Structure 1
């Protein structure tokens, strides 16, 4: 194997808890720095490492691809524990950037500054907002609506548990998710997904997973509770899902349910004893900006030479 493909004996990794103010809360992410390589690591190897870490997602920092007119600070590739590559800008990106700034691998811009990232082949901006980071997602693309009864069946709920003020629908701001409003917190707690049914219902809407939320009766909507299920990607439940928060904020705005300014706070992870908070707003171009804090809980060296 030529030197430009050799990763060396060890590469650094960290476990970063995302949408969290303290370690061991929020959504854990494994981050592996492979940016010293001229080419991406083999996909099969990245999938194996993601399975080894067994986190909701593992993100590999790789060398950016050349791009015209933009200075790209880093490129990310993210895989679920089930080996599926994901491309949305959520916890997979926020945790990676937190660690890159914290360790000095990338110089943190001043407050209000931004830089460009690549996720797969897509480009988007990362913002520094005081002591938080923000990810700018893509303008919303509204997909298919789902049958409320089919959604209820997928969650092992009664059809009356579905809140039709937010009709079940897939929305994409970088990753497509099926958004489902439930009547109350009790219904959210009772969710017991029938995996095969949920995967089928989501795929019929061209969605990766299902975001179940309680928006309540107050208008405008400012605070919601949520759970995310994505067994089709090997992710039975996710503690905090930034890639689904963007579609939700955009959908609420589309239905005229957000106030001014167009902001939303999402509580997620209580069901997994991993509480996290996602703050999100729409910018002047109606693009969702997902913001949050992180906490690094562990770091170390991944032994590579024996398993490359």
Structure 2
């Protein structure tokens, strides 16, 4: 069977960069085993599979090269951008069904914004904290003052780690075996490392993301991690904003600059009720596969 897989870069910064994802339409024709085989053949950090849904506008499933995951931010943005640009999306207030429930997705021109849950924060135990620092080659004085590394979940779990200066975050040499071990024991997608130093104009933080547990050593844009970071910046570092702009990918060995916009919904008690993370997708190429 021959299939075409559009490759769409999500969270592009201007007309360049972004994080590419495969988008497979009419995916109901494939078994889970075939979807995994397709994702491995595409070889990107995630590939999205689009099927009909009885409860949402579309059903979305996400596969890394090695396994299925519940959510993927950049593949969601890639999918909805592709559908909108090809006249396949009926309305701008849309929705997706995933293995973890329903989520709203809103379109603004050619940008897509996906819903995430209210944040859950969890303090790391001392052993896990020390192992986290060890895995990144960090000392306590490398951290932003007051920015204690924490597990943050808005649908997926990440450890959020704030680094004082951009030189240190650029020069990280992660121990991927240790990160994978910690990610398994804490049920994480991975580590989201950020700095407030050395970022572009109008950007609140610059980031890097490591997820070896899912076959991703580093990726250039992670919408499901940018959401937790925005919540952390507001509730843990006291940045009293409703909207954050986060850049990623610029500090990778092979840069692919990305920008993720996160909008927080703040309740009457000043707590975060939910959030939408979004950006724009751009079609880059079409891959032809023979299953």
| TM bracket, shorter-chain basis | 0.7 to 0.9
Report if the CA contact (8 A) 1:168-1:180 is conserved: yes
Query: Superposed, which structure 2 residues align to 1:207-222 within 5 Å?
Result: 207-216=188-197
Query: Superposed, which structure 2 residues align to 1:19-30 within 5 Å?
Result: 19-21=11-13, 25-30=17-22
2:152 is equivalent to residue 190 of structure 1: no
Q: Which of 237, 261, 264 is the aligned partner of 1:282?
A: 264
2:81 is equivalent to residue 94 of structure 1: no
2:288 is equivalent to residue 296 of structure 1: no
Report if the CA contact (8 A) 1:21-1:294 is conserved: no
Report if the CA contact (8 A) 1:227-1:239 is conserved: yes
Q: Which moved more, 1:122-131 or 1:95-104?
A: 122-131
Q: Matched residues in 2 for 1:236 and 1:47: separation?
A: 19
- Give the secondary structure class of the aligned counterpart of 1:17: strand
Q: Matched residues in 2 for 1:150 and 1:222: separation?
A: 30
Question: Residue 77 of structure 1 corresponds to which residue in structure 2?
Answer: 61
2:223 is equivalent to residue 231 of structure 1: no
Query: Superposed, which structure 2 residues align to 1:25-174 within 5 Å?
Result: 25-35=17-27, 37=29, 41-64=30-53, 66-67=54-55, 72-81=56-65, 83-107=66-90, 109=91, 113-145=92-124, 147=126, 148-174=129-155
Q: Normalising by the residue count of structure 1, what TM-score does the alignment of the two structures yield?
A: 0.83
Cα offset for 1:222? 6.0
- Give the secondary structure class of the aligned counterpart of 1:277: strand
Report if the CA contact (8 A) 2:142-2:163 is conserved: yes
**CA RMSD in angstroms, aligned pairs only:** 2.3
Q: Which of 177, 184, 201 is the aligned partner of 1:203?
A: 184
User: Residues 32 and 299 (structure 1 numbering): CA distance in 2 closer, same or farther, change over 3 Å?
Assistant: same
Map Cα deviations across residues 168-215 of structure 1 (whole Å, 9 max, x no partner).
Answer: 111111111111111110111111111121122333433220000013
Map Cα deviations across residues 132-155 of structure 1 (whole Å, 9 max, x no partner).
Answer: 211111111223425443222101
Q: Matched residues in 2 for 1:53 and 1:146: separation?
A: 38
- Give the secondary structure class of the aligned counterpart of 1:293: strand
Question: Residue 267 of structure 1 corresponds to which residue in structure 2?
Answer: 247
Map Cα deviations across residues 46-67 of structure 1 (whole Å, 9 max, x no partner).
Answer: 1111111111111111222x33
Q: Matched residues in 1 for 2:216 and 2:275: separation?
A: 24
Q: Matched residues in 2 for 1:161 and 1:203: separation?
A: 25
Report if the CA contact (8 A) 2:196-2:204 is conserved: yes
Q: Matched residues in 2 for 1:267 and 1:28: separation?
A: 16
Cα offset for 1:294? 1.2
Q: Matched residues in 2 for 1:146 and 1:279: separation?
A: 31
Q: Matched residues in 1 for 2:86 and 2:203: separation?
A: 34
Question: Residue 10 of structure 2 corresponds to which residue in structure 1?
Answer: 18
Q: Normalising by the residue count of structure 2, what TM-score does the alignment of the two structures yield?
A: 0.88
Q: Matched residues in 1 for 2:75 and 2:193: separation?
A: 20
Give aligned pairs, total.
280
Structure 2 gaps of 5+ residues are none
Q: Matched residues in 2 for 1:118 and 1:54: separation?
A: 24
Cα offset for 1:102? 1.2
